Amino acid sequence: MPIPPSTLQKMRDTLEIYWLLARIIVPITIATELLSRMGVIDALAPAFAPVMRLVGLPPELGLAWLSGMLVGIWGAVPLVFVLVPVSSLSVAEVTVFSALLLFAHGLPVEQKIIQKAGPRMIATTLLRIVGGVLYAFLLHQLLAATGWLSAPVNPAWRPTGETLAWSGFFLQLLEMMVWMLVILLALSFGLDLLKVTGILALMMKTLSPLLRLAGIRGEAGHLTAVGLFLGISYGGGLLIREARSGTVSARQVFLSCVFMGFAHSIIEDTLIVMALGADVSGVLLGRLVFAVIATAAIGAVIRSMSDETFARWVFMAPDAAADPSSPGAAGRWP
């Protein structure tokens, strides 16, 4: 039975996005792992101790935060109880650190994907880091003032800090890339199926009030929902395609990427840090509220920008993201 042309085209489009993501993820993941094994992250970590003190955390956790920002959540999680004994940490401290980590992790990979959709890397990276520190600071102040979550932490899981051999690392990377292809294909066809059956409309009807408060509407909302539940690699990957096609306006693409930076992969990532002892109210509910308010505020700012200012400082054409010298790097953006 021949495969319909529309199906073949969708597969080609999805493979194109996958190849783009693979060219970002594989080399950056290898380079970051190499830097980690060379001790570069260890050498830089003390510079982050003041931030830890600002949010009420032991300065030793600066190494875990830096490792998380560069390598990803799995670069930070094994270090937490290695750097600070579990007996000296409270639920509040683990919750604040987890919140900080959930805002900004795996930045070299995730921010490169975001950049391919059009938003400028420096702007969105700074927003994620500053937003994470601000939220962690506010959460720390609230917990310190109320004494809430001051009990000693009792983690359900204590990961080890064991480093894989290079063979194990590359095997893990290959497995991740295979699963990414499977998930992207499933998402691509699954979104169409959800549209046809009306399930997507129902899901978006439930989520749309939340996203509308953040200033995200229309097709951008569908893609933001993917990132919210599955992560930036998938939501951002689909957003690249829509941004290139012009079906989503530049300002909506930017707001979608900002929201996903603040809140993404809320099921998997939240469960990981909850297993360490973090409280769901701080790492999920509070984070979503902050993401909505902060994204709405940022939306008000970019709406007040002229097209020229927006293009110069915040957003470049998706194709120009790969080549900032191209003519599409500046221009008028709806």
Residue 44 within any structural domain of the chain: yes
Radius of gyration of the chain (CA): 20
In single-letter form, the type of residue at position 62 comes to G
Mean pLDDT across 57-77: 86
Say what the pLDDT of residue 84 is. 84
Instruction: At 224, list the tokens.
Output: 């933001």
User: Could you tell me if 212 and 225 are in contact, meaning their C-beta atoms sit under 8 angstroms apart?
Assistant: no
Alpha helices in 161-231 (DSSP H): 166-197, 199-213, 219-230
Give the chain's domain count.
Answer: 1
Residue 290 within any structural domain of the chain: yes
Banded model confidence at residue 34, pLDDT cuts 50, 70, 90: confident
Please say if the pLDDT value at position 163 is more than 70: no
Residue 228 within any structural domain of the chain: yes
Alpha carbons within 13 A on the beta-carbon side of 135: 32
Listing DSSP states for 11-33 in one string gives: HHHHHHHHHHHHHHHHHHHHHHH
Residue 201 within any structural domain of the chain: yes
Residue 171 within any structural domain of the chain: yes
Q: Which residues on neighbouring strands pair with residue 90, listed in sequence order?
A: 152
Say what the pLDDT of residue 1 is. 58
Residue 50 within any structural domain of the chain: yes
Q: pLDDT tens digits for 179-222?
A: 878 877 886 777 678 778 877 677 767 888 889 999 998 878 87
Banded model confidence at residue 319, pLDDT cuts 50, 70, 90: low
User: Could you tell me if 155 and 274 are in contact, meaning their C-beta atoms sit under 8 angstroms apart?
Assistant: no
Residue 282 lies in domain = 5-157+167-310
User: Could you tell me if 314 and 123 are in contact, meaning their C-beta atoms sit under 8 angstroms apart?
Assistant: yes
For the chain, percent of residues with pLDDT exceeding 70:
90
